[in-house]
Amino acid sequence: MKIGIVCYPTFGGSGVVATELGKALADRGHQVHFITYNQPVRLDFFSENLFYHEVSVSKYPLFEFPPYELALASRMVDVVRFEKLDILHVHYAIPHASAAYMAKQILATYGIHIPFITTLHGTDITLVGNDRTYKPVVTFSINQSDGVTSVSEHLKQDTYRFFEEVNRDIRVITNFIDLKRFSHQPKGHFKKAIAPEGEKILVHTSNFRRVKRTSDVVRIFAKVQEQIPSKLLMVGDGQDRPECEQLARDLGVSQNIRFLGKQDAVEEIMSVSDLFLMPSQSESFGLAALEAMACRVPVISSNAGGLPELNVDGVTGYLCDVGDVDGMAQRAVYMLEDEDRLNTFKEEALKHARTFDLSNILPQYENFYQEVIANSKPVKTA
Ligand code: GMT
């Protein structure tokens, strides 16, 4: 197939899923065309089946808000026409689904039928559910998609709950992990450098947005550290990082926390870690937690959103209510204080991560593409 993928080319979240999916499809022999405003971060190598088409938004003094959605729709029209794509797959509804709808209508005037699939990732639904600004457009463009997927069952139910007028079937295709890349690596020297006295290593990765509750991570760690000699690695960057750094100083634990900023080789950091913390306010799936589990790291998370579908309470780690810093700290101590117990959690985390291996999820996307191509109806033109 010739597949167009539209995504945000950023660190973390939907952009990573879209890029990893595109790479895997290209490995399977499909031709994959990324259409976005920057080279996706994990697309930094050559493959004969991978193409990148930049969307450039012209600046004009009149445009206080340059119309990215129009530039994107125009680029989609251009790429579909000239590369003869079979299907478009847009990741994150806003504004990609409505841009795809517009491109589809324009292409129909050239006699070209292009079906499009929208994958819902999380904040495109959960934030908009609380903010009516984009609601009519998101509702319309979900309903007009030829196929819709969500990354967890919980996100599917949230979509119906927040968008009462969405009347489409939504196929759950969960996020995935490439276990060939994300696996435990022997990085003993790195571990020794971070924890020279054999301290336990806790880790958190995110974009430090409010929804991640990163200050809870610091608070949980401060409590754990009172009972277990330990270190905390904070990976990523974002608006709440300065607040976390200040909190670490105020709580007197800053000497045991390393803020590492954005990192490419996350799997190397995970490989030296004993426990992953994800106390998010909301999380449609929690890809970062799956990355940790694939590296044999158990998870303490909140029970928000789709996290219970990933983190099995008492098996791969523990789930607590959002904001329950004491509960999360207690469970962390329970896991870390006994080496055999910790190892059992580690094994279970890896075992469960294997069920999300790319090899299980990729065929679900390929089958869905074929289903949608076979069943989608061309736009009626006058
Ligand atoms: O939260 C992020 O890191 C970005 C965000 C996005 O939409 O790009 O991530 C969402 O999509 C990820 C990939 O499907 C999910 O694993 C995250 O759980 C989800 N984030 C939230 O729901 C807050």
Q: What is the pLDDT of residues 284-324, one digit of tens each?
A: 999 999 999 999 999 999 999 999 999 999 999 999 999 99
Please give the model's pTM, rounded to 2 decimal places: 0.93
Residue 163: name the closest of 128, 214, 198, 205 by CA: 128
Which helix (H) or strand (E) element contains residue 326? helix 325-336
Ramachandran quadrant class, 226 (left: phi over 0; alpha: psi -120 to 50; beta: rest): alpha
- Which pLDDT value is given to residue 276? 98
CB 147 less than 6 A from any atom of ligand 1: no
Is the CA virtual torsion 21, 26, 30, 31 positive or negative? positive
Q: Mapping DSSP to helix (H, G, I), strand (E, B) and coil, where does residue 164 land? A: coil
- Are 285 and 175 contacting, i.e. CB atoms less than 8 angstroms apart? yes
Average pLDDT, the chain: 94
Compute, in angstroms, the gap from residue 147 CA to the centroid of ligand 1: 20
Compute, in angstroms, the gap from residue 151 CA to the centroid of ligand 1: 9
CB 96 less than 6 A from any atom of ligand 1: no
CB 17 less than 6 A from any atom of ligand 1: yes
- Which pLDDT value is given to residue 211? 93
CB 236 less than 6 A from any atom of ligand 1: no
Closest Cα to atom 23, ligand 1: which residue? Answer: 283
- Which pLDDT value is given to residue 209? 93
Query: In percent, how much of the chain has pLDDT > 90?
Result: 84
Compute, in angstroms, the gap from residue 15 CA to the centroid of ligand 1: 9
Compute, in angstroms, the gap from residue 341 CA to the centroid of ligand 1: 31
CB 149 less than 6 A from any atom of ligand 1: no
Residue 207: name the closest of 41, 20, 13 by CA: 13
Contacts of 37 (CB under 8 A, 6+ apart): 9, 54, 55, 56, 57, 68, 72
- Which pLDDT value is given to residue 11? 59
Q: For a substitution probing ligand 1, which of 121, 127, 212 has the most ligand atoms within 8 Å of its CB?
A: 121
- Are 68 and 37 contacting, i.e. CB atoms less than 8 angstroms apart? yes
- Which pLDDT value is given to residue 80? 98
Q: Mapping DSSP to helix (H, G, I), strand (E, B) and coil, where does residue 268 land? A: helix
CB 12 less than 6 A from any atom of ligand 1: yes
Query: In percent, how much of the chain has pLDDT > 70?
Result: 99
* pLDDT, mean of residues 154-175: 96
Extents of the domains making up the chain: 2-176+358-375, 188-356
Q: Which CATH class is domain 188-356?
A: alpha beta
Strands (E), 255-312: 257-261, 275-278, 299-302
* pLDDT tens-digit readout, 166-176: 999 999 999 99
* pLDDT, mean of residues 277-287: 96
For the CA of 288, the nearest atom of ligand 1: 16
Q: Which CATH class is domain 2-176+358-375?
A: alpha beta
* pLDDT tens-digit readout, 10-56: 756 899 999 999 999 999 999 999 999 998 877 877 889 999 999 99
* pLDDT, mean of residues 247-266: 94
Please check whether the two domains, 2-176+358-375 and 188-356, share a CATH topology.
Answer: yes
Using CB atoms within 10 Å of the CB of residue 185, give its burial: 0 to 12 exposed, 13 to 18 middle, 19+ buried: middle
Pull the structure tokens for residue 306: 């789709």
| b/e sequence 311-337, b meaning 16+ C-beta within 10 Å | bbeeebbbbbebebbebbbbbbbebbe
- Which pLDDT value is given to residue 65? 86
CB 307 less than 6 A from any atom of ligand 1: no
